[in-house]
Chain A
C-alpha cells in the first residue's frame, strides 16, 4: 500500500488542454512537495505547500493543499509539449521524520503537439 496515491498514473493529452493530477493519503503531512522529473535527470522541485487550504500558482500550474493536509492537486492550464514529464508528489510524514521524503508513484504526462 502506497502512503501517497497519485492519480492518474498516465495522462496523454493534446496541446492546449487542461489537466489535474491528484495526490491522496490517509495521513496528515506537515508539508507536501511537487516535483517534475525528465528522463535521465533528477526530480526538480516545483513547489512546497505547508498550510491546509493553501493555493500556489506557478505560471500555468496551480497547486492546492487540502484543508486537512492529507491531499493535494496539481492543475495545469493550456498544457504545452514542454510540460511532458513525470510529476511526483512527496511528503514528510511528520514528527521526527525530517529529511525522509516519501514519494508517490508518479504521473507520466505526455502532451502532444
Chain B
C-alpha cells in the first residue's frame, strides 16, 4: 500500500533549464495538491488538481510554472527556465476527497537546487 510517491527526490538544474517533478497519488486518491517549502517562508499552497482538471492554481506563479494531472500517469509540476529563487522543497499531497477532515497524505518531496 504505497503512499504518495514523488520523484526525483533530489534534482539539480542549471539556471535556464526546465525542471519536471512527478507525483503519483495514493491508490484511490483522485485529488492532488502541490506545495512549496522555502526555508524562510514555510509551506505554501501552489495548485490543486483533479484528473484532467486544475481546480485552484491561485498559489502558482503566473509565469514559468505549470501543473497537470492527466487521465493516465502521475501529476507533473513543470518549471521552465529555472532561476535560483526556485530552489526549494516541493511537496505533493493527495486525498480521497476535497474535504480536509479526511486528511492529506504528503509525499517525501523533491528538493530542487538551481545552480
What residues of chain A have their CB less than 8 Å away from a CB belonging to chain B? 30-31, 33, 35, 40-45, 48, 50, 88, 90-92, 97-106
CB of B31 closer than 8 Å to a CB of A:
yes
Name the distance in Å between B43's Cβ and chain A's nearest Cβ: 4
Contact status of A100 and B43, CB under 8 A, knowing A41-B109, A42-B107: no
- Which of B12-20, B75-83, B94-102 is near enough to bind chain A? B94-102
Q: Which 9 A-B pairs have the closest CB atoms?
A: A42-B106, A99-B48, A98-B98, A103-B43, A31-B101, A45-B103, A105-B42, A48-B101, A43-B106
CB pair B42–A100 under 8 Å, yes or no, is no
Provide the residues of chain B in CB contact with A105, threshold 8 Å: 42
Q: Between A and B, how many residue pairs show CB distances below 8 Å?
A: 70
Among A40, A88, A102, contact of B108 (Cβ-Cβ < 8 Å): A40
Q: Place the interface of chain B in its size category.
A: 20 to 34
At the interface, is chain A mostly helix, strand, loop or mixed?
loop
Considering the chains assembled together, what is the distance between the CA atoms of A30 and B108 in angstroms?
A: 27
Question: Please, could you name 12 A-B residue pairs with CB atoms under 8 Å apart, sorted by A?
Answer: A33-B100, A42-B4, A42-B106, A42-B107, A42-B109, A43-B91, A50-B101, A98-B55, A100-B56, A101-B35, A103-B35, A103-B42
In the complex, which of the residues B44, B56, B91, B101 has the most CB atoms of chain A within 10 Å of its own CB atom? B101
Provide the residues of chain A in CB contact with B33, threshold 8 Å: 99-101
